[in-house]
Amino acid sequence: MRVAPGLTRPLVVRSTLVGDPGDLISRLPGTAPYAWIRRGEGLVAWGEAARVTVPPGPGRFEWARDRLSEIFDQAHVDDDVRAPGSGPVAFGSFTFDPDSPGSVLVVPRTILARRGGRAWLTTIGEELLDPVAPIRDPGRIRYGDGSLTAPEWEHAVAQAVRRIRSGRLAKVVLARDLTAVAERPIDVRLLLSRLAARFPECYAFSCAGLVGATPELLVRHTGETIESLVLAGTTARGTGTADDVARGAALFASEKDRQEHACAVESVRETLGPLCAELKVPEEPELLVLPNVQHLATPVTGRLTAGISVLDVVAAMHPTAAVGGTPTRTALEVIRELEGMDRAGYAGPVGWVDARGDGEWGIALRCAQISGSRARLFAGGGIMAGSDPAAELAEAQAKIRVMQYALEG
């Protein structure tokens, strides 16, 4: 655990109501911003009051929860707002693979938030509002292969299909990466602005260099209430209204996609059931239509037993079948065998948690890891017995175009 220099121990936190700040992303300074935005609401933050570097291995979520609780329990908090996301908040990103390093929780020094018609400012220590510099364009972008070329990845998909048909497992999610190099350093604020404008139904996020717009809400925790949105089964948008409707109908009727979605829903049901006094899971999925793709979606709601933090729910749910496979342990083994890469934060939990244990966490999809002028872009898809490698590659390319759009405009 590290506390930023110049700040007192314990942390001194103050949350006060403020006037409407307008576009939250436009208020961010240029260095290391944090964000969780949907439909113009959410939290943006900057600076660093404390950082928890989470060691890899089993029990990492519980370890992170306990270390964060030490920080929050010792803090002197003056909170006039008393809402989810007020008081001290930590933004977090966990790696997909529990054995991979890189999981982190950061308590920002300044947080600006808007939710339910109210806006507030949280500061830790002396209030220092960093100047907002103009957003920079990264210039020309050059792309290159990631860990596997397209033909190599198609071969990996074919191998996964053979393992599924042999009865080793029912489903596995395979991901691929691309590299991107810009002429100039990549300004995270530009990516967030483009993603939030183009994909308002998604959660635009930024944490420790991981930036994206995920459609998949892993869990929203408010008091004893939780919500989750299960996505599995995807098709591209059509060329026109009639084609769009036809594609959505075909997705709904697809045995492969419906089976993939059912695996993901059952995974969430089995995970959340023991944590909840009540759990509601619709019998039929609905269609979630985004600007680039359509998904089968099932919203899940429940009421938790008392005293459970959002990080406890995240620990229980990750990895879901939507990003790992079924059965989970076998799917993780196949992913390690075939992907040929470390996913890092891709498909891992990303979001925020406050001192009450409330928070919102998504699965880090449609994202990129940014470092200076370089980016690593990720996408993937669920592989079933009936999967076609060329079709799976086309689906992954459609998903990865989200971050290509964010980089290029």
Domain range annotation of the chain: 2-130+142-408
pLDDT at 87: 98
In this structure, is the dihedral angle defined by the CA atoms of residues 296, 298, 299 and 305, taken in order, positive or negative? negative
pLDDT at 130: 66
Distance CA 113, CA 115 (A): 7
> What DSSP designation does 5 have?
T
pTM (2 decimals)? Answer: 0.93
Active-site residue, 280 included = no
Q: Which amino acid does the sequence have at 266?
A: E
Distance CA 102, CA 117 (A): 35
pLDDT at 305: 84
Please, what's the b/e burial string for 43-64 (b: 16 or more CB within 10 A of its CB; e: otherwise)?
Answer: bbbbbbbbbbebeeeeebbebb
**DSSP-derived 3-state class of residue 78:** strand
Catalytic residue among 62, 152, 201, 216: 216
- Which residues, 6 or more positions from 73, have their beta carbon under 8 angstroms from its beta carbon? none
Active-site residue, 256 included = no
pLDDT at 31: 82
> For 283-352, where are the alpha helices, taking DSSP H only?
310-317, 328-338
Contact (CB, 8 A) for 345 and 95: yes
pLDDT at 292: 86
Distance CA 377, CA 400 (A): 7
Along the 409 residues of the chain, how does pLDDT read in single tens digits? 555 544 447 899 999 999 999 999 999 998 889 999 999 999 999 999 999 999 999 999 999 999 999 999 999 999 999 999 999 999 999 999 999 999 999 999 999 999 999 999 999 987 666 678 899 999 999 999 999 999 999 999 999 999 999 999 999 999 999 999 999 999 999 999 999 999 999 999 999 999 999 999 999 999 989 999 998 888 989 989 999 999 999 999 999 899 889 988 998 899 999 999 999 999 999 999 988 889 999 999 999 988 889 999 999 999 988 899 999 999 999 999 999 999 999 999 999 999 999 999 999 999 999 999 999 999 999 999 999 999 999 999 999 999 999 999 9
Catalytic residue among 48, 154, 171, 360: 171
Record the tokens describing residue 405, joined without a space.
Answer: 């759009």
- List 36's β-bridge partners, or say none: 43, 205
Distance CA 233, CA 238 (A): 16
Q: Which amino acid does the sequence have at 72?
A: F
Cβ neighbours of 80 (radius 10 Å): 11
pLDDT at 8: 47
Closest CA to 200 of 360, 36, 39, 366: 39
Closest CA to 352 of 173, 111, 175, 129: 111
Contact (CB, 8 A) for 391 and 382: no
CATH value of 2-130+142-408 in 3.30.420.340, 3.60.120.10, 3.40.50.300, 3.40.50.1110: 3.60.120.10
In terms of C-beta distances under 8 Å and separation of at least 24 residues, what long-range contacts does 72-78 make, across chains too? 72/355, 74/9, 74/10, 74/11, 75/10, 75/11, 75/12, 75/13, 75/355, 76/10, 76/11, 76/12, 76/13, 77/13, 77/14, 77/15, 77/355, 78/13, 78/14, 78/15
pLDDT at 5: 44
In angstroms, the Cα distances linking 322 to 86, 116, 201, 353, 363 are 31, 30, 19, 23, 10
Record the tokens describing residue 221, joined without a space.
Answer: 């925790």
